[in-house]
Structure 1
Amino acid sequence: MDSQPSGRSKEELLCFETDKIYFTIKGKNRNSEIDEKDTNSRGYLISYSEEKITGMEKAYFFEYENYELIIEKKDRDIDLSFHHENKDIRNKITKNRSGSLSGIITFKGEIGYSDLVIRINGRDYLIVTVEVFPTKIDYRKDYTAIRNDVNEEIYNLAFDFLKRTYSLSGLTKHKGDSLSEYYSILNYIFEKLKKALKVIIAMPHHSLINEGQIVPYHKLKNVTSETIKWLEKRPEKLVKKKDKFLPVEAMQISKKITLDTNENRFLKFIIKSILFKLKELKKSYLKLGRTPDSSVISKLEGFTRTMNNYLTSTFLKNVGEYEFRENSSMVFKMAVGYKEVYKYYLMLQKGLTLKGQLFKLNIKELPLLYEYWCFIKINALLRKHYNLISNDTVKVNNNGIFVYLKKGKESKVVYENPENGERFVLSYNSKMPSQTVGQKPDNVLHIDKIGEKATYNYIFDAKYKLDRAIKGSSYEKHNKTPGPKEEDINTMHKYRDAIVRKNEKTGRYEKIIAGAFVLFPYGDEEEYSEHPLYKSIENVGIGGIPFLPRGTELMEGLLKEYV
């Protein structure tokens, strides 16, 4: 069994019993670090047991903390076992001679809910769901915002690819991905979809059509080519009066506004397809054989009511059925409301698959999530001011859209400055040249300045680390306030020294890194602007930049300065 680190007191954080077991988790008590206003839970939830549970106390759990888990059995004849989806946690819990279980576990950077499953005689007996909180960022604000940013940017990248690649008819025939993924995406975009539909209902697309009506001659207001053709086929409608032939009656053609356009028919088709999937979702969910979650059923029924209302209580009730056409409509590419609905339809139809990662729905490894977010957010900041030229993070195959953003694999996005035509590349995990060992910093911005032969390279390395400048520490003495770890700053110096390129004319190796910066999770930009490791950026081109959803101004300012 692993030993608990010395110097830390262990307390019983969570302790309860049932008729069959005693359950205990020991560790450092950090409950005081949780603001009760920021959490709706007790830190854990117990399910799958019909027996009486007694002795529970409030407890919270944190990333990168060691916890001692002890599960003792009351009945000698039962066989206890433990399960967790993470193999590293599962293998830490071992059985002793008495048949009880114990071990030291850590959730590392896996933020959010985690299930501790106790089994008796091979069957699930009890599940303790603990909620793991981060220590370096605000759980409810920063963590949620980071995940939302990641999702939003991935959908934007995929949609940018889809809208250039597919016509309406090509996608309407695609069956889409799994129902669970469909529900996840619908759940994510539903409020935005409603907002777009509200815009359409207020200003629906319309067109002018010719409407024919047979009227007596004295009511005929204008004669068109359609009127002449109608009379040519019906000569009996003409009578001779004096030297002229006059019609008794004729076809009157008038212009009429109609909402029954193919675009609105396609809109109706989209809503019907969502309703069909919602029906499938509910049916499949109820077939799972477990007690249904009332909140899930309520949400599905709410979605269904909303979509039905659009069909029965708006102009769509008088719109016909959609007919597939090979040409795509500019209305769904440009018109306000329609283009947004089209975007969400593409998401639902094709879905998003992230190769090698459960990225869009369930990344819990916070250091990795932060690393991905940094690359994604830098792109979002650049796209505010510069034109996106190419992006190799989005690809397609027969199974759907793949967002290829994976640690260890290179990705590149190319931009152009609309003012001067300069192009620059933001790369992720790009292997940089070196005379010895190749270097792979997280993010590198490569800038080719017009009129200059050199390429300027700037490293932005994501580090989910923070030195809190504890009072009395060496860091606090030199820097006074929280900031990046000093060892990470030293890594930036190593990058600049190690990444070199051979000059073919002189035969010498030259440094090619103009600046190297640590991105770290800290929200107080105003305070950090006085930090020595921020001021060092201007002096030596190396330092740290705080980077969180609620703090991006310093980073954005630096990008504007270099690009």
Structure 2
Amino acid sequence: MKHLFCIATNRFTLDWHRVRQSDHAVLAHSMPVMGRLQLISHGSGLQWRDSMMRSGVPQAVATDASDTNGPPLYEQTEYQLYLRGANEGDTVEIRHRDPVITRALNSQENGRVVHGSVNFRGQIGRSLFSIYVNGNRTLDFEVEVFPTKIDYKSDYQDIVADVQSILTNLAYEYLRSTHQMGKLSSDRPPSKLEWLVLIEQIIDELDTAMNHIAQRPTRALVRRERTSRLERIRKVDSRVRAQVRRGQGKGSLVRLNGISVREQIVERPAELTLDTMEHRWLRNQLVDVQRTLGQIANIYDSEAELTSRRKRTLDGITRLKSRVSRLLNLEPIKEADGDPPIGFASLQLVSAPGYREAYRLLMFLKMGLRLEGDLIQLAVKDLEVLYEYWTYLTVVRILQDEHGPPQNLDSLFRVRSSGLSVQLKQGETQQVAFSTGKHRKIRVKYNPQFSNHDTTLIPQKPDILIRFEEDGWPIIQLVADAKYRIDATDNYRKQFGAFGPPADAINVLHRYRDAILEIDQSESDTFELKRSVIQAAALFPMNPSPDENFHDSRLWESLERLGVGAIPVLPSNTAFLKEWLLSAVRQGGWSMADRAIANSADERSRDWRIAASEAVLIGTLRAPGTREHFDWVMSERVYYQPYAKTQPRQYHVKQVAIYTPASLGSPGIRHVADVRSFEIVDRSDIATPWPPRRNELMVLYRLSPIRPMNRDIEFTAQDFMPTQGRWTTRLGLERARSVSEVALETEPEWRLLEWLRATNKQFSVRLASAKNQDAQNPKGRAWFHFESGDRVRFDGTNGFLWRPKDGDERYFSLRDFIQHQET
């Protein structure tokens, strides 16, 4: 535990410690920062003690209460504080505008001691604490929290600037533990969030200005008609003289200086009044303030349960409403009745003491905010949220630079508002689309959720999804996950060749790649689940050091090799992200498909489907003269058999395998060759060392070099090889272990064979005539005969044809047939 600073006074002592050394990122270590500790005393009588200290600050400066230097504090770091009253019987308290930051603090010894932990989590900026002694505010101290993984003065400010360039409200919150300094902007009206931030900032000054107006109001002279007795008229004007001449007025006539005059005359004396246009303008503005506060409060009143932050916010709004109500009851404002003219302005309103301050402050409420300057304190969102927003906007910006503005740019600005928190809308609707031509479209989605029960067991929610839609190709997608975490340990660097996101963050990418599925409709109108994510990258905040080449790290290389990796991204370093994105954007469907990691089972299944459609001839050797025939085939690389009009497979042979009989050793199928070409010729045209037995048409196959098979197919006691040879497919040839198994030409037949063997079923295999196979719907010609006299054959898409000894034939799927046999 490291002692960071101590504030020692005659009223209390506060000690602040860091619990343990955090794994601050390399960037934070390489760019040291000076922290902040500003002390603001309230009232007189507070005396500073010599035991004050600030880590990293010379002791001569540490005891100077006016100096603002202090130790830097960091995000995601646990701190311990200990506050103790100096005098017996004193109670102490530490307060913060954000209740979350102080909820781990405890009070002991009847309120004389406060201690506990403080963790700013992902919040960056200045944070103000207040110390109360015996219920009186005694001291404020302000610290500054720095990011651990990025540069505070460049990368962090650039991230905030990029986010608020889209929408300022995305960058900040109403109530957080830290704040940044901001300024007013007149380029747009404020949102309710900005408005509430402003009214909270100006309410004290507005209160002072309005009280000054109440104490020294500027009154106006007004003339109102009233009927007065003659003796009470102080000023005889033209209106009074006209009434006397005409005998107008009320009451009986009386003689006055020889003139007959009515007892009462209507006059218009000048009077002072508080009902001025300036006061009416101020009253209207305060009424608007009160109405807006009520609208914001209704957001929280409608919620059944409030969090501590929301409750604190609602309490703050209630206090603001009370203060505005008091201002409305000040005499000058209360006396004002009516509305000022539209666009009213006066020299008094903008220049008189009190009036000009109130006018300026109320006009502030009509302006927006910017996260720069030093006028307004703004609470910024947690850094991991800002980083996620920024990476999404950066991906959009890179694609915009490549293909121009997206087709639906307005959708980027759609937000959802929860109380006073403004966030990017998540899910399928939050996307922008780029058209890269007539036949291709790219969509960038923010936080889409995959929760379809037909495609997902557990919902998946990546941060960013780049979706490619191209004619003739299924959906191809890239995933980017913003991870504001770095593993900067030596073991990590040794394993991956660079610092990067933690291993668990990379594991999540493997899950996204395999768990995000799309329903693909095949040409046969069947719906199949297919993987659509070909690459997934974790985006993490770091600048690789100049002495390392990130391209050589496993994090980068594995993107192409494994489809999963990591990319460093910061405002000062977007080159790697741009390279990754554009390498996909500038490729077509074929090239992108090549980047997908193939599934070995899928490839084998696809190969077997093709193999089931490729005809293979199992050739036999003549007897006698078996050795002579074998040597001739091997040297001349040809093989022939009689032409048969009823055997169309002769035209589609892909391979010829050679069965060697017992006369040449152990019997079996040991050699194979690909068919290069074939022709139909007379037997007399084929030159052989032995004479032809008779002249007939032959199919002559010209072969590639004859090679030994990868695995011999042995001849067993139950096997039978016809003298004229046997037909099969490449699937049967590659999977067979015995000569009889060669007859099984399709995958379903092999599945059935494996089940029969596993359950020790007794059966035999008999062949129907050989036919050409349909690559999309291969059928078997092997009948599985059982001791009961029943038999079954694979019949392609119809399933298995079951012909019992007694009864009608039926079709089964393999699973249903197995269940039927087991019952």
> Would you call these one fold, judging by a TM-score over 0.5?
yes
Q: Distance in 2 between matches of 1:62 and 1:89?
A: 14
1:46 is aligned to 39
**1:529 corresponds to 2:546:** no
1:514 is aligned to 534
**1:412 corresponds to 2:403:** no
Q: How far apart are residue 453 of structure 1 and its match?
A: 3.7
**1:107 corresponds to 2:115:** no
Q: Any idea what SS the aligned residue of 1:492 has? A: helix
Q: Which amino acid aligns with 1:394?
A: F
Q: How far apart are residue 555 of structure 1 and its match?
A: 0.8
**1:147 corresponds to 2:166:** no
| CA spacing shift, 1:67–1:285, aligned 2, 3 Å | farther
Q: Distance in 2 between matches of 1:118 and 1:500?
A: 56
Q: How far apart are residue 362 of structure 1 and its match?
A: 3.4
**1:551 corresponds to 2:573:** yes
**1:428 corresponds to 2:446:** yes
Q: Any idea what SS the aligned residue of 1:389 has? A: coil
**1:538 corresponds to 2:560:** yes
Q: Any idea what SS the aligned residue of 2:466 has? A: strand
Deviation track 1:227-285 (CA, whole Å, cap 9, x = no partner) reads xxxxxxxxxxxxxxxxxxxxxxxxxxxxxxxxxxxxxxxxxxxxx99xx9x979x9799
Q: Distance in 1 between matches of 2:133 and 2:83?
A: 11
Q: Which amino acid aligns with 1:140?
A: K
Q: Which amino acid aligns with 1:113?
A: R
Q: How far apart are residue 68 of structure 1 and its match?
A: 0.9
2:647 is aligned to none
Q: How far apart are residue 156 of structure 1 and its match?
A: 13
Q: How far apart are residue 375 of structure 1 and its match?
A: 0.9
Q: Distance in 1 between matches of 2:107 and 2:413?
A: 47
Maintained 8 Å contact 1:352/1:403: no
Q: Which amino acid aligns with 1:73?
A: G
1:460 is aligned to 480
Is there any run of 5+ residues in structure 2 with no aligned partner, and where?
Answer: 56-70, 171-185, 199-342, 371-376, 586-823
Q: Distance in 2 between matches of 1:436 and 1:541?
A: 22
| CA spacing shift, 1:179–1:456, aligned 2, 3 Å | closer
Aligned length: 381
Q: Distance in 1 between matches of 2:167 and 2:550?
A: 30
Q: What's the % identity of the aligned pairs?
A: 26
Deviates more, 1:437-446 or 1:147-156: 147-156
| CA spacing shift, 1:134–1:179, aligned 2, 3 Å | closer
Q: Distance in 2 between matches of 1:279 and 1:409?
A: 51
Q: How far apart are residue 125 of structure 1 and its match?
A: 2.2
| CA spacing shift, 1:141–1:352, aligned 2, 3 Å | closer
Maintained 8 Å contact 1:177/1:349: no
Deviates more, 1:477-486 or 1:136-145: 477-486
Q: Which amino acid aligns with 1:482?
A: F
The 5 A counterparts of 1:110-129 are 110-129=123-142
Q: How far apart are residue 93 of structure 1 and its match?
A: 0.7
Q: Any idea what SS the aligned residue of 1:52 has? A: coil
Q: How far apart are residue 479 of structure 1 and its match?
A: 1.9
TM-score, reference length from structure 1: 0.59
Q: Distance in 2 between matches of 1:36 and 1:496?
A: 36
| CA spacing shift, 1:446–1:35, aligned 2, 3 Å | closer
Maintained 8 Å contact 1:446/1:457: yes
The 5 A counterparts of 1:44-443 are 44-49=37-42, 50=44, 51-54=46-49, 55-58=52-55, 59-99=71-111, 100-154=113-167, 351=368, 362-386=379-403, 387-390=405-408, 391-395=410-414, 405=424, 411-417=430-436, 420=438, 422-432=440-450, 433=452, 434-443=455-464
Q: Distance in 2 between matches of 1:532 and 1:538?
A: 10
1:238 is aligned to none
Q: Which amino acid aligns with 1:414?
A: A
Q: Which amino acid aligns with 2:387?
A: Y
Q: Which amino acid aligns with 2:134?
A: N
Q: How far apart are residue 67 of structure 1 and its match?
A: 1.0
Q: Distance in 2 between matches of 1:156 and 1:16?
A: 36
Q: Any idea what SS the aligned residue of 1:538 has? A: helix
Q: How far apart are residue 369 of structure 1 and its match?
A: 1.1
Deviation track 1:507-542 (CA, whole Å, cap 9, x = no partner) reads 432212121110001112863221101111111221
Q: How far apart are residue 493 of structure 1 and its match?
A: 0.4
Q: Any idea what SS the aligned residue of 1:362 has? A: strand
2:515 is aligned to 498
Q: Which amino acid aligns with 2:383?
A: L
Q: Which amino acid aligns with 1:83?
A: R
Q: Distance in 2 between matches of 1:349 and 1:421?
A: 47
Q: Distance in 2 between matches of 1:535 and 1:376?
A: 25
Deviation track 1:300-322 (CA, whole Å, cap 9, x = no partner) reads 9xxx9xxxxxxxxxxxxxxxxxx
Deviation track 1:38-86 (CA, whole Å, cap 9, x = no partner) reads 65x5422122435233413142211111111100001233332222233
Q: Any idea what SS the aligned residue of 2:448 has? A: coil
| CA spacing shift, 1:177–1:110, aligned 2, 3 Å | closer
Deviation track 1:329-359 (CA, whole Å, cap 9, x = no partner) reads xxxxxxxxxxxxxxxxxxx978589xxxxxx
Maintained 8 Å contact 1:430/1:440: yes
Q: Which amino acid aligns with 2:431?
A: K
Q: Which amino acid aligns with 2:540?
A: F
Pairwise CA RMSD of aligned residues?
A: 4.4
1:236 is aligned to none
| CA spacing shift, 1:30–1:488, aligned 2, 3 Å | closer
Maintained 8 Å contact 1:133/1:139: yes
1:187 is aligned to none
More helix by share: 1
Q: Any idea what SS the aligned residue of 2:54 has? A: coil
Q: Any idea what SS the aligned residue of 1:384 has? A: helix
Please identify the structure whose Cα radius of gyration is greater. 2
TM-score, reference length from structure 2: 0.41
Q: Which amino acid aligns with 1:443?
A: I
Q: How far apart are residue 98 of structure 1 and its match?
A: 4.5
Maintained 8 Å contact 2:535/2:564: yes
Is there any run of 5+ residues in structure 1 with no aligned partner, and where?
Answer: 1-9, 158-171, 185-271, 289-296, 305-347, 354-359
Q: Which has the higher contact order (CA 8 A, sep 6+)?
A: 1
Q: Distance in 1 between matches of 2:484 and 2:189?
A: 40
| CA spacing shift, 1:502–1:283, aligned 2, 3 Å | farther
Q: Distance in 2 between matches of 1:382 and 1:544?
A: 19
Q: Distance in 2 between matches of 1:53 and 1:22?
A: 10
Maintained 8 Å contact 2:90/2:134: yes
| CA spacing shift, 1:176–1:28, aligned 2, 3 Å | closer
Maintained 8 Å contact 1:112/1:364: no
2:254 is aligned to none
